[in-house]
Amino acid sequence: MDSKGIIQELTPIFADILDQPNLQLHPDSNASNVDGWDSLAHVNLVVAIEKRYGIKFALGELQDLKNLGEMAALIRKKTSGRQ
């Protein structure tokens, strides 16, 4: 799965948590340009993404990410080698 595919999979999760059914996400989406992506939503997003992919982000791993594209790349890295 490429980053674009992962962003597609992430969209319904973000749409649920941010309560925006028609949300569109892009590789350059980030907390400053997506409405409602605040620190409280962020905690819920991380739980949902970790459960969705069966992964656990290491401490600090998310801090340096600039946008959703980088997050997707990180998810891809953490899930690579799996079915």
40 touches other proteins (CB under 8 A): yes
Nearer to other proteins, 4 or 56 (CB): 56
Of 60, 30, 24, 66, give the one whose Cα is nearest residue 45.
30
Query: Within positions 42 to 71, which residues make up the interface with other proteins, using CB under 8 A?
Result: 43-44, 47-48, 51, 56-59
1 touches other proteins (CB under 8 A): no
79 class by beta-carbon count within 10 Å (0-12 exposed, 13-18 middle, 19+ buried): middle
* Binding piece for other proteins, criterion CB under 8 A, among 1-9, 23-31, 35-43, 75-83: 35-43
DSSP-derived 3-state class of residue 61 = coil
